[in-house]
């Protein structure tokens, strides 16, 4: 499969897209935020230095979820009053786009689940049922983005505070509603144990082998 | 496929920073995962995400107050994963006017994540956050998680009273949160927060020496005092197993009894009646004809029945083997008294006496009999009967008691342990869940309260 | 561990009961007298329990 390449309009560096569905990417060299139009790449902004978040995951990390292998190709960092967390953008080996969230080293994998009716707002303890599974709202977080990296399936940067609703179930099933978009987007997935992802190409940390 | 171009950041390393409050040196071990970090010199809580380490709170504490038993920076292995202790806090609850404090350690692995160790009175727990919700019962008296039922043990307001090191969440000294513990020894599930916004975690009991071994600490762990809420009973599962074994043994005993009773000869080999003249004269002793005791070496039951009425007879017996000259020498008394007094009629004694002669080899035997009684009391008629190979119930009775005794002791000790466990709970006694313990406690409680006024 | 101990204990109890029943043991103690002479059959009065206790000469000079 050939991957589309282009040149960064700001610094001329070669940009390779790992996923055909990527809408936005960040030039690794000059940190320009580039959006893909039909013809070429357009610079829409600049990313400041990433905050000192230290997720072991990085762009290029590979892993396995269920029966599919995936590669990490992008990242959004969100910040809220308790700190920050990462949403790593994954591309599965069948071309699907997914997300690996890493919040204080607790991991979850979700995929966008269109076609469900979502309320205008949620309350803690509220219950929902999607795909024959019951979910309960456990956290409502007001956060703002504080950095992007790599390829994302949509245009995403420089946004103000948005609401994220997390839901848990009596099993490992996990869900998130992103109220930053209109209409809100539902992501369904599950909480995963680090060992089960069989991650490769992780960052290493001083003093830890 | 590897990334081209510059790496996104250098290898994360342990940082050394200066406290903005007092200038003391701070070691940051959590590679950017900490939200708050505490300066142990001036007891300031700092914002770890702020490059300038803004001071969020300053609390009062003595120098070297509450040193952690696991020094911060120590590495240990739990469930095969290496962790570093990076944070420490003390939390306090009030129960009936008395303060109880426990300690919590934040353990960190930069790839595998966080884990927590709690310690109270020498009892340790290995705690991790739950990723799925437990199923609370309607009255919240219990919950179910992964097919196991946990019973509510205690709900209290926990206040943070001391903090040290780094935390992946906001800590403040004095902050309170409601904590509810549900136990299923050796596990405990804690819900922290409000009913709607609870964080659930599960703890598994750890002995102090396991923690010491995991972190390679010197010296001895503090002794565990009393029984902790999710401390596994050292007897617990054994009690059930022992009673099951007991049932099997009792069934075996029954089968054996049936076997022995049906197989025993129970053969009458001698039955003679004699008259003893109590007038004193010459030699009272005599010998019987010989009789044969057949079969293997087994017992012989000798029954003496005498028609005594408010009288007694004492018979000296010798069961003598005609061929070997080996004899069994014993005496039996038969006495029977009766009368009438203010309480009614009474009797004392019996007209019949039995004795078992043990392990008599087969052969030809005779009895040498010498009766005695009060003189000049007339003639006493008595019958001597011998039975060969008689099964004895007494051994089975002793066996039953011998088997019940350890099972009983074990059960009593287990109940005692559980009683000590639940004495510390909100209830002071075990939950009413149909278990043996709760039944016994309910009965004991009803005895106590029956003396109270309604 | 405790269950195994109880298992062995119980088996020992059952074995003891079997042995006691088979061999015809008794709970009471019984005095035994060796070598009762045949002359006792002719002269029962000469038998004395003392035969069971003394294994040395008591007949005087």
Per-position b or e across C21-60, b if 16+ CB within 10 A of its CB:
beebbbeeeeeebeebeeebbeebeebbeebbeeeeeeee
- Find the residue in A nearest to B193 (Cα): A138
- Report which of residues A149 and B212 the model is more confident about: B212
* CB-CB under 8 Å, A206 with B13: yes
- Order of strands, edge to edge, in the sheet holding A32-36? A24-26, A32-36, A41-46
User: Which residues in chain A have their CB less than 8 angstroms from residue B31's CB?
Assistant: 54, 205
Same domain, A67 and A145: yes
Count of structural domains, chain C:
1
In a domain, C14, yes or no: yes
Give the whole-angstrom CA distance, residue C30 versus residue B332.
12
On the question of a cis peptide bond just before residue B393, with omega within 30 degrees of 0, the verdict is no
If one counts the domains in chain A, the total is: 2
Q: Is A99 inside a domain boundary? A: yes
Interface test with B, best of C1, C17, C34, C35 (most B CBs within 10 A): C17
List chain C residues with CB under 8 Å of B259.
Answer: none
pLDDT of residue B369: 94
Does residue B454 carry a pLDDT above 70?
Answer: no
Q: How confident is the model at residue B6 (pLDDT cuts 50, 70, 90)?
A: very low
Query: Does A204 reside within a domain?
Result: no
- What would the two tokens of residue A164 be? 């994220």
Q: Check: CATH 2.60.120 for B271-390?
A: yes
The ipTM of this complex is 0.89
In a domain, A69, yes or no: yes
Hey, which residues does B112 pair with through a beta bridge? Answer: none
- Residues of chain A scoring pLDDT < 70: 1-4, 38-39, 51-53, 157-159
* Model pLDDT for residues B79-123, shown as the tens digit of each residue: 999 999 999 999 999 988 899 999 999 999 999 999 999 999 999
> Do residues A75 and A149 both lie within one domain?
yes
Cα–Cα distance measured from residue B382 to residue A185, given in angstroms and rounded to the nearest whole number: 106
Give yes or no for residue B72 having a pLDDT over 70: yes
The residue to which tokens 């051994």 are assigned? B395
Write down the domain spans for chain B: 56-232, 237-264+396-425, 271-390
The CA-atom distances, in angstroms, between B268 and each of A42, B24, B367, B390 are 117, 101, 15, 10
A170/B197 CB distance under 8 A: no
CB-based contact, B170 to chain A, within 8 Å = yes
Q: Is B288 on the interface with C (CB under 8 A)?
A: no
pTM equals: 0.80
The length of chain B in residues reads 454
Q: Which of A91, A117, A103, A102 is nearest to A185 (CA)?
A: A117
Contact (CB<8Å) C33/B318:
yes
Pick from B91, B107, B45: which is nearest to B190 by CA? B91
Q: How far is it, in rounded angstroms, from Cα B375 to Cα B313?
A: 11
- Within 23-82 of B, beta carbons closer than 8 Å to C belong to none
Judge contact between B320 and B288, C-beta under 8 A.
no
DSSP 8-state code for residue B146? T
Of A28, A172, A208, the CB nearest to B5: A28
B188 to chain A, closest Cα gap in Å: 17
Strands in A67-119 per DSSP E: 68-80, 83-92, 97-103, 106-112
Query: What residue in C sits closest to B360 (Cα-Cα)?
Result: C24
CA distance C61 to chain B (A): 26
Q: Are B112 and B81 in contact (CB under 8 A)?
A: yes
CA proximity to B365, closest of B398, B339, B326: B326
Residue A122 structural domain:
62-197
- Please give the pLDDT value at position B196: 73
Residue the block writes with tokens 């944070």? B87
- Which of C4, C18, C13 is CA-nearest to residue B404? C13
- Those chains having 3 or more beta-carbon pairs within 8 angstroms of chain C are B
Distance from C-alpha of A124 to C-alpha of B362, rounded to nearest angstrom: 89
Question: Is the separation of the CB atoms in B247 and B255 below 8 Å?
Answer: no
Inform me whether the C-beta atom of residue B291 falls under 8 Å from chain C C-beta atoms.
no
**C-alpha to C-alpha distance for A58 and A73, rounded to whole angstroms:** 8
B35 C-beta neighbours (distance < 10 Å), count: 20
Closest of B167, B170, B29 to residue A80, by C-alpha? B170
Neighbours of C11 (CB within 10 A): 13
H/E stretch holding B212 reads helix B208-214
Q: Do chains C and A touch (3 or more CB pairs under 8 A)?
A: no
B352 pLDDT tier (thresholds 50, 70, 90): very high
Residue in chain B closest to A134 (alpha carbons) equals B133
Q: Which chains touch A (3 or more CB pairs under 8 A)?
A: B
A106 and A17 in one domain? no
Range of the domain at C12: 2-26+35-53
DSSP state of B297: S
In the prediction, which pLDDT does B206 show?
96
- A-B CB pairs within 8 A amount to 111
Do A123 and A175 have their domain in common? yes
Determine the average pLDDT of the residues in B365-381.
93
Pair (A124, A192) in one structural domain: yes
Say if C45 falls within a structural domain: yes
Residue with tokens 């001329």: A12
Burial status of residue B351 (CB atoms within 10 A of its CB: 0-12, 13-18, 19 or more): middle
pLDDT at residue number B433: 66
Residues in B closer than 8 angstroms to C21, CB to CB, are: 256, 260, 391-392, 395
Asked if A92 and A70 touch (Cβ cutoff 8 Å), the reply is yes
Cis-peptide into B68, omega within 30 deg: no
Q: Are strands B298-306 and B291-293 parallel, antiparallel or unpaired?
A: unpaired
Q: What is the CB-side half-sphere exposure of residue C37 using CA atoms within 13 A?
A: 10
**Do B283 and C44 touch, CB atoms closer than 8 A?**
yes
Tens-digit pLDDT profile for residues B213-239: 999 999 999 999 999 999 999 887 788
Distance CA B183, CA B48 (A): 35
């Amino acid at each position: 499969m050939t991957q589309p390449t282009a040149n960064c309009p700001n610094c001329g560096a070669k940009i390779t897209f790992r996923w055909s569905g990527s809408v936005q990417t960040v030039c690794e060299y000059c940190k320009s935020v580039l959006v893909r139009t039909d013809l070429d790449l357009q610079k829409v902004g600049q990313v400041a230095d990433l905050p000192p978040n230290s997720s072991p995951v990085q762009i290029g990390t590979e892993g396995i979820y269920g029966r599919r292998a995936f590669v990490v190709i992008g990242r959004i960092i969100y910040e809220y009053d308790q700190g920050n967390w990462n949403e790593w953008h994954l591309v599965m080996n069948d071309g699907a786009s997914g997300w690996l969230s890493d919040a204080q080293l607790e991991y979850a994998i979700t995929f966008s689940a269109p076609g469900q009716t979502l309320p205008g707002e949620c309350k803690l303890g509220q219950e929902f049922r999607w795909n024959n599974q019951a979910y309960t709202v456990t956290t409502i977080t007001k956060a703002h983005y504080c950095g992007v990296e790599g390829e994302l399936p949509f245009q995403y940067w420089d946004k103000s505070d948005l609401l994220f609703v997390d839901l848990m179930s009596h099993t490992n099933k996990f869900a998130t509603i992103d109220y930053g978009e209109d209409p809100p987007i539902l992501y369904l997935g599950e909480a995963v144990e680090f060992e089960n992802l069989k991650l490769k190409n992780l960052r290493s940390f001083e003093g830890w082998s | 496929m590897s990334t081209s171009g510059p790496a996104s950041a250098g290898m994360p390393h342990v940082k050394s920073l200066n406290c903005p409050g007092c200038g003391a040196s701070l070691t940051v071990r959590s590679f950017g995962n900490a939200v708050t970090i505490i300066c142990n010199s001036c007891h300031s809580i700092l914002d770890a995400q702020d490059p300038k380490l803004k001071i969020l709170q300053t609390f009062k504490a003595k120098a070297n107050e509450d040193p952690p038993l696991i020094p911060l920076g120590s590495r240990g292995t739990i469930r095969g994963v290496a962790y570093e202790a990076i944070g420490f806090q003390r939390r306090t609850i009030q129960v009936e006017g008395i303060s109880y404090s426990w300690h919590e350690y934040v353990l960190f692995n930069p790839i595998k994540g966080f884990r927590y160790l709690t310690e109270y009175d020498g009892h340790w727990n290995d705690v991790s956050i739950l990723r799925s919700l437990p199923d609370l019962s309607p009255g919240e008296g219990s919950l179910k998680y992964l097919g196991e039922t946990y019973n509510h043990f205690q709900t209290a307001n926990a206040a943070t009273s001391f903090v040290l090191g780094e935390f992946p969440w906001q800590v403040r000294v004095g902050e309170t949160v409601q904590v509810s513990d549900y136990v299923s020894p050796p596990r405990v599930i804690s819900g922290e927060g409000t009913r709607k916004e609870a964080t659930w975690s599960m703890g598994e009991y750890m002995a102090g020496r396991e923690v010491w071994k995991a972190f390679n600490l010197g010296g001895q762990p503090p002794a565990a005092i009393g029984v902790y809420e999710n401390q596994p009973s050292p007897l617990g599962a054994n009690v059930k197993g022992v009673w099951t074994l007991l049932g099997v043994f009792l069934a075996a005993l029954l089968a054996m009894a049936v076997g022995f009773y049906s197989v025993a000869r129970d053969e009458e080999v001698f039955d003679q009646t004699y008259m003893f003249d109590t007038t004193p004269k010459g030699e009272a002793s005599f010998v019987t004809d010989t009789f044969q005791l057949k079969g293997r070496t087994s017992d012989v039951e000798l029954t003496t029945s005498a028609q005594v009425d408010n009288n007694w007879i004492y018979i000296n017996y010798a069961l003598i083997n005609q061929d070997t000259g080996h004899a069994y020498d014993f005496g039996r008394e038969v006495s029977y008294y009766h009368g009438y007094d203010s309480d009614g009629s009474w009797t004392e004694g019996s007209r019949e006496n039995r004795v078992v002669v043990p392990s008599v080899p087969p052969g030809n035997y005779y009895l040498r009999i010498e009766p005695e009684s009060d003189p000049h009391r007339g003639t006493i008629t008595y019958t001597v009967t011998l039975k060969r190979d008689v099964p004895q119930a007494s051994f089975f009775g002793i066996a039953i008691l011998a088997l019940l005794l350890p099972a009983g002791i074990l059960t009593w000790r287990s109940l005692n342990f559980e009683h000590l466990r639940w004495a510390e709970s909100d209830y002071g006694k075990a939950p009413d869940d149909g278990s043996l313990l709760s039944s016994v406690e309910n009965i004991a409680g009803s005895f106590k309260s029956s003396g109270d006024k309604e | 561990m405790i269950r195994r101990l109880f298992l062995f204990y119980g088996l020992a109890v059952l074995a003891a009961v079997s042995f006691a029943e088979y061999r015809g043991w008794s709970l009471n103690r019984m005095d035994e007298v060796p070598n009762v002479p045949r002359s006792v059959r002719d002269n029962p009065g000469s038998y004395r329990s003392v035969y069971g206790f003394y294994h040395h000469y008591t007949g005087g000079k």
